[in-house]
Structure 1
């Protein structure tokens, strides 16, 4: 079983930014409307540090998932407030906003994005339940009725297939939105930056650009792994307790209660996949990697710069990162000063050489004149 280098760096795409989580801390890098990159260290204490129970296998998967959702949501809201509200403040056409947007802006101010996001999150949870729990179950039940119970033993598989189809279609439709396309570019930069670090290469735009944007530990892969595990567990439960499957509401409740265990197993597999490279891992990870062709886009160099800033700050801290930049600038200045000094020395040497040559020529001309006078005097004496 081939093992690859274990690393503990992860990330998340934000609005015009990236959140990176390193082994010792986290950092968020944002591209502000004025073009500058703002880097901020984040401290997210984990409940695993206080209670070892939450660090046990399976349990730690649920813990990490919940903590990642909470911290990721906070940073997403912060990035939205810093980027989106600045754009609104600088917009000369604010008077052309709709009445609803004006009312929200006047009453919530800088918290406008947060208010909208909270409402969106509530609606999103309801939509997720409808799309990924209710509709697949409903579709399987309807198909079972249409076939007079011929697919009773395959309803779990049909549910999973419907869930995958809905998930893929949803992501394809969402990926067509302008803002989401740009966020997917940051998602690609996050993966490329992590790959560059894992490869042991220097974190430069050129090196990061060459890396793949598809990463096996991505959340997209995690979603597909969860669907596969859910299908297997649902099949086992329906075989052991077939009566549960006949009541739609009860069956959906079972699926919801089963979700934490599915998360835990999914996390353990993703963790395993990040440390191993074999045929089994490649086969199971393949659907998630294919899906990342939708959820990631090739980033531009300015977006790659944000990814590099985020991962450097997460690994080394903001201050050390700035010191490294200052050191590079100092080294550059020193090299420039050295070049100037060498150029001045070369000019001086050339000046000296030119002076020596001129002195030689003058001396030679003087000697020639003296010899000519001596010769002329001797010739006059002979006469």
Structure 2
């Protein structure tokens, strides 16, 4: 199979595990307290409206973010409920009154809302901080640059602080394991622990890169709208969130497409540098979980294709 035909896979780290997503399915593998590996499967869900949006440049990024937030939060919820629970206590989970359907819908909606709430805070706090420097940096250009600087500092400080907690450090290790598996797969290496560990923990398509690109893109987009008065600046920033997200997504896709071109691969370097904070070198047993998750996804996707072929 050529690189052009090869499916594109992505994923995310969860509590004590890794989620991988393909065209049709998503799979999470986690390490339980008794050292066994447990899986959680789900079909990739997307509304007809989002499916249409994903075909439109600059809008497809918004659709992809909403879908990823909804699907990813479901799997993160699974891992957070079970990773620290002894398998003998699994029966307690089954006693929950809430139906699975309402649980899935509730968690998915919570994931999308949490992302939007975080994005609003991340957008507005730098605005107020920059406004405080008006007496020193009075020009519009300097204000936009200062705002972008505050946003970058806020991002880096936040990531650094949470990375110091043991729990998040392990999540970042699984994040590194996820990237290593994808890199090994894309380089057509057998997915053994040894091969995966030799692969890079950085990847051009990472969501961490996307977050950084929103900061960079925002600086240029904000140059097109007025800064005064303050209320208008706030309204502009809120209304431009979808625009910034949409453009940043296209930039992310572009850097991934040109990563093998020597003159252009540097375009993705800022995102890779941020990943030095958001990923950590994983242990062999963490890599084993990531490989198990990815292989399970490949198995399920293969079965889906065979089923479709029989139906046809």
TM-score with structure 1 setting the length: 0.68
The CA distance in 2 between the partners of 1:217 and 1:124, in whole Å, is: 19
**Conserved in 2, the CA contact under 8 Å of 1:7 and 1:198?**
no
Are 2:298 and 1:310 aligned?
A: no
After the TM superposition, which segments of 4 or more aligned residues of structure 1 sit over 6 Å from their partners?
108-111, 118-125
What is the aligned residue count?
Answer: 292
Alignment of 1:7-46 (within 5 A): 7-46=7-46
CA drift at 1:273: 2.1
Q: How does 1:277-288 map to 2 (within 5 A)?
A: 277=259, 278=261, 281-288=264-271
| Pair 236,70 (structure 1): closer, same or farther in 2 beyond 3 Å | same
1:297 match: 280
- Tell me what 1:197 maps to: 185
Which position in structure 2 is the counterpart of 1:174?
162
Matches within 5 A, 1:296-375: 296-317=279-300
1:230 to 207, 215, 218: 218
Q: How far does residue 22 in structure 1 lie from its aligned partner after superposition?
A: 1.7
Q: Deviations over 1:88-132 (max 9, x none)?
A: 969xxxxxxxxxxxxxx9xx8999xx999x9999788656544x2
User: What is the CA-CA distance between 1:254 and the residue it aligns to?
Assistant: 1.3
- Structure 1 position 315, deviation (Å): 2.0
* Counterpart residue number, 2:141: 153
Closer, same or farther: CA 134–280 of 1 in aligned 2, 3 Å = farther
Cα 1:160–1:25, aligned 2, differ >3 Å: closer, same or farther? same
Q: Judge conservation of contact 1:222–1:270 (CA < 8 Å) in 2.
A: yes
Decide whether the 8 Å contact of 2:53 with 2:63 is kept in 1: no
TM-fit CA distance, 1:236: 2.0
Partners of 2:186 and 2:128 in 1: CA distance: 44
CA RMSD of aligned residues (A): 3.3
Distance 2:286 2:81 in 1: 19
Contact map agreement 1:216 1:274 (CA 8 A) in 2? yes
Gaps of 5+ in 2: 304-312
Q: Equivalent residue of 1:29, what SS?
A: strand
CA distance in 2, matches of 1:319, 1:127: 37
* 1:49-75 superposed Cα distances (whole Å, 9 cap, x missing partner): 885344211121110111001111111
**Alignment partner of 1:265 is 2:247:** yes
- Does residue 1:138 correspond to 2:128, yes or no? yes
Distance 2:83 2:253 in 1: 33
The answer to whether the 8 A contact 2:120-2:238 is kept is no
Instruction: Give the match for residue 228 of structure 2.
Output: 246
Secondary structure of the structure 1 residue equivalent to 2:267 = helix
What is the CA-CA distance between 1:201 and the residue it aligns to? Answer: 0.9
What pairs up with 1:103-114 in 2 under 5 angstroms? none
Give how far 1:256 is off.
1.7
Alpha-carbon distance between aligned partners in 2 of 1:88 and 1:157, rounded to the nearest angstrom: 55
Please state whether the residue corresponding to 1:28 is helix, strand or coil.
strand
Conserved? CA contact 2:258–2:265, under 8 Å: no
Contact kept, 8 Å, 2:20 with 2:294, in 1: the verdict is: yes
Structure 2 counterpart of 1:380: none
Q: Structure 1, residues 194-252: CA drift from partner, whole Å, max 9, x if none? A: 00100011111111010000111100101111111111111122xxxx3xx11223212
Q: Which of the two has greater helix per residue?
A: 1
Measure, in 2, the Cα distance between the counterparts of 1:123 and 1:27: 22
Gaps of 5+ in 1: 91-104, 321-383
CA deviations on 1:141-172 (whole Å, 9 max, x unpaired) are 2212245x3x3332111101110011001101
Separation (CA, whole Å) in 2 of partners of 1:122 and 1:58:
21
C-alpha contact (below 8 Å) 2:172/2:278 kept by paired residues: yes
Q: Which has the larger radius of gyration?
A: 1
Structure 1 residue 25, shift from structure 2 partner: 2.3
For each residue in 1:258-280, what CA deviation from the matched residue of structure 2 results, as whole angstroms up to 9, or x when unmatched? Answer: 11122222222222222222356
